[in-house]
Amino acid sequence: MTERTTFFDTRIEFLKGVGPQRAELLNKELNIFTYGDLIQYYPFRYDDRTRFHTISELDESLPAAQVRGRLRDWYFEGEGPKKRMVGTFTDGTGTMNLVWFQGLTWLEKNLRRNGEYIAYGKPQPFGGQFSIVHPEMDNISPDTEIPRGFYPVYSLTEKLRKRHLDSKAIGTIMRNLLEGAYPHIRETLPDSLVQQFRLVSKRDALWNIHLPQNQAWLVQAQRRLKFEELFYNQLRLIKNKLLQKNENPGQVFRNTGLVTAFYKDHLPFDLTNAQKRVLKEIHADFVSGKQMNRLLQGDVGSGKTIVAFIAMLMALSNGAQACMMAPTEILADQHYEGLKLFADVLGLNIGILTGSTTTKRRRVLHEELQTGKMQIIVGTHALLEDTVQFQNLGLCIIDEQHRFGVAQRAKMWAKNEETPPHILVMTATPIPRTLAMTLYGNLDISIIDELPAGRKPIKTVHKFDKHRSEVFGFMRQQIELGRQVYVVYPLIEESEKLDYKDLMDGFESIQRAFPRPKYEVGILHGRMLPYEKDDEMKRFQKRETHIMVATTVIEVGVNVPNASVMVIESAERFGLAQLHQLRGRVGRGADQSYCVLMTGYKLSKDTRTRIETMVKTNNGFEIADVDLQLRGPGDLTGTQQSGVMDLMIADLAKDGAILTVARESAQKILDDDPHLVLPQHAPIRNHLDALRKEETNWSRIS
Ligand code: ADP
Ligand code: MG
């Protein structure tokens, strides 16, 4: 191999303090092979050893504290695996316990009674006193240097620790590396950015991320490295998107005849400013000559349907056809019903195609789509079948995109052989802007961040299971007022027998509490046949049932404006996004709506945060932000999108502000210099090369 070798390609076994055996361990355990790999192995946190606490100042909320004092004495307690050594530690302001479970023989031999120590660890209250379990102990003698500063803590494996490669040891090795590497570290950002954002140099950043001189330096080092990481992440995404856009011409929809006609005589309400803005963004795409790939985010009830319809009119005004694809039959039906109301007044031909469309009807639809007689088609996956051909498909709207994959989107593209249709993906699951920018860096984003005027926010309360009779009373009261109620049970996996039993038990107890003939209770779950589900839904829509007991099959899209109460059983078992989706089933009419979250008494900290967030806000974006904090970005999207999410230091849940400026900077540089040929952009070219090389190395390893 004739690879260009640099200092950073040197194998770590040649580093002072490493050697062949440790090198092999680091290779195997952490995938660290070269100086370059090691220097990029950043600490995941730092021990703050800059300040001391007295025992009287200790507080449960401290993540860790260091206390200087005297180890008066120790004794043993417990038997077998519970055997522990308890030391009495004092500092003139109080007494605390130091507790050890392991290495007792060694400790007994090495600790000195009445010796002076610095004990470091997490203080926990226990029996009226604080104690630290397995504290780090530093012996103080007149000539010891008292540790002060921020100490890096690296994520390490048990195997490494057993071979004495702990954070302290890695820190020492790192110091050796940094001393040698310092002159070899090249700047990876152009001078203009370093100046503009007052970033510290790459050299200083690498030094201080491992061995911070003080907290201010640590913060600057983190800011610099996060910026760099996000800048290159966005630069690459934007570069790819530019390439992609150039490859895809799009139909131009300049005529707006049908839109004007609709606005003039048939618009059922004033559009919100957000709806108008989004329509402007879509229109700009339609006249750009390039294919639109746009993500439309809008909370439940924000009015995406009419935006979709008006976008369709833009296509239709230019002789093109439009389709809308939904993830389920229920949803497709509802879209069809909603769109048909608008389409009929304009005399447009609209159809629906789902799994239950008869063969006979299908034949008609296929023919009308192919000849262009039918202008709008709504449907499920059935639309993807090869037999569905259009005369000229100009716009494809995909609802609830997380259920459709990229492959399916590509299938829709192929439905117009001349020019691929414009694509509008709609989702009611708000994704925090920071995440959307990174995940969908190649989709443009439109957001409806405003609800139609006069909407009453849904009132959300948290009730414990034992208050069920109170909740039933409230349900009766609402039914008395003519409203309808959903009661939702978790049924995550439709096969889970226990869940199914819960649902049935719940159904029976509700039937007992709401007896016939005064009340009608319906049920909806995944084990029912499609026509049974349909019947139940229709009965509820026609107000023949007062209460709908259901599983999450009602999560998406169902629209019954008269339903004003959503009771969620075992709410602790739902994720935030799902709770928010479920709540969105109510609050669709003019009446005040309510959401009741039922839980048991024992709740984890995260669950409490989820419930409190739901009670506090109706804003989907705020909820998505909390969800991102709780779960992390990988979880939120269900899949780790390759490359995009491989961030080593930036945290999408926290570094939104940095991401925004990094993206703007990347955009501006590519606008000015699309091929990065200007001399001042040499650092970017070099670093992109290095990143590419690193990636090929990684693919070789794994
Ligand atoms: P979603 O974004 O959840 O799909 P919909 O499009 O179903 O929302 O709209 C929810 C309800 O709000 C519908 O009944 C719709 O007719 C109504 N709506 C939409 N836009 C407006 C508006 N600008 N003013 C008043 N009502 C509106
Ligand atoms: Mg909708």
Q: Report pLDDT digits (tens) over 9-38.
A: 999 999 999 999 999 999 999 889 999 999
Q: Is 427 in the pocket of ligand 1 (CB under 6 A)?
A: no
Cα separation, 436 vs 559, in Å, equals 27
Cα separation, 577 vs 242, in Å, equals 32
Chain centre distance of CA 585: 22
Q: Is 683 in the pocket of ligand 1 (CB under 6 A)?
A: no
Place 438 in a pLDDT band, splitting at 50, 70 and 90.
low
Q: Residue 21: CB partners within 8 Å, gap ≥ 6?
A: none
- pLDDT score, position 563: 93
- For 375-396, what is each residue's pLDDT tens digit? 999 999 899 999 999 999 999 9
**Over residues 200-220, mean pLDDT:** 94
Cα separation, 105 vs 149, in Å, equals 31
Q: What is the DSSP letter of 405?
A: -
**Over residues 583-593, mean pLDDT:** 86
Cα separation, 310 vs 389, in Å, equals 23
Strand partners, 448: 298
Closest CA to ligand 1's atom 26: 452
Cα separation, 80 vs 101, in Å, equals 10
* Closest to 468 in 3D by CA, of 528, 422, 512: 512
**Over residues 671-686, mean pLDDT:** 94
Set out the domains of the chain in order of their start, with CATH numbers: 51-147 (2.40.50.140), 257-288+303-427 (3.40.50.300), 459-617 (3.40.50.300)
- pLDDT score, position 149: 80
- pLDDT score, position 35: 95
Tell me which of 262, 305, 398 to substitute to probe ligand 1's pocket, judged by most ligand atoms within 8 Å of the beta carbon.
305
Side-chain-facing half-sphere of 261: CA atoms under 13 Å: 14
Q: Across the chain, what does the average pLDDT equal?
A: 87
Cα separation, 537 vs 521, in Å, equals 12
Tell me which of 302, 335, 447, 586 to substitute to probe ligand 1's pocket, judged by most ligand atoms within 8 Å of the beta carbon.
302
- CA–centroid distance, residue 383 to ligand 1 (Å): 25
Place 640 in a pLDDT band, splitting at 50, 70 and 90.
very low
- CA–centroid distance, residue 557 to ligand 1 (Å): 12
Of ligand 1's listed atoms, the one at least distance from the Cα of 308 is 6
Tokens 């397995």 sit at which residue?
134
* Ligand closest in space to the Cα of 430: 1
C-alpha pair distances (Å), 688 with each of 189, 229, 367, 371, 662: 11, 11, 51, 50, 16
Q: Is 269 in the pocket of ligand 1 (CB under 6 A)?
A: yes
Q: Residue 657: CB partners within 8 Å, gap ≥ 6?
A: none
DSSP state string for 369-404? HHHT---EEEESGGGGSTT---S-EEEEEEESGGGS
Q: What is the DSSP letter of 645?
A: T
Cα separation, 157 vs 580, in Å, equals 38
- pLDDT score, position 406: 59
Chain centre distance of CA 287: 33
pLDDT at 493 over 60: no
Cα separation, 120 vs 68, in Å, equals 9
How large is the angle between the packed helices 304-316 and 257-265, nearest 10 degrees?
A: 140
Chain centre distance of CA 146: 43
Cα separation, 72 vs 97, in Å, equals 10
- pLDDT score, position 405: 60
pLDDT at 436 over 80: no
How large is the angle between the packed helices 304-316 and 273-286, nearest 10 degrees?
A: 30
- For 404-425, what is each residue's pLDDT tens digit? 565 666 778 788 888 899 999 8
Q: Is 305 in the pocket of ligand 1 (CB under 6 A)?
A: yes
Q: Is 461 in the pocket of ligand 1 (CB under 6 A)?
A: no
Cα separation, 430 vs 622, in Å, equals 9
614 touches 595 (CB < 8 A): yes
* Closest to 459 in 3D by CA, of 622, 590, 617: 617
- pLDDT score, position 154: 92
Q: Is 589 in the pocket of ligand 1 (CB under 6 A)?
A: no
Cα separation, 210 vs 228, in Å, equals 17
**What are the structure tokens assigned to 702, written together?**
């794994």
189 touches 231 (CB < 8 A): yes
Cα separation, 90 vs 116, in Å, equals 10
Q: What is the DSSP letter of 149?
A: S
Look at residue 202 and give its three-state secondary structure. helix
Cα separation, 433 vs 220, in Å, equals 25
**What are the structure tokens assigned to 456, written together?**
């009453």
Q: What is the DSSP letter of 219?
A: H
Element (H, E) at 332: helix 329-345
- pLDDT score, position 701: 47
- pLDDT score, position 634: 54
**Over residues 180-201, mean pLDDT:** 95
- CA–centroid distance, residue 301 to ligand 2 (Å): 7
Side-chain-facing half-sphere of 115: CA atoms under 13 Å: 15
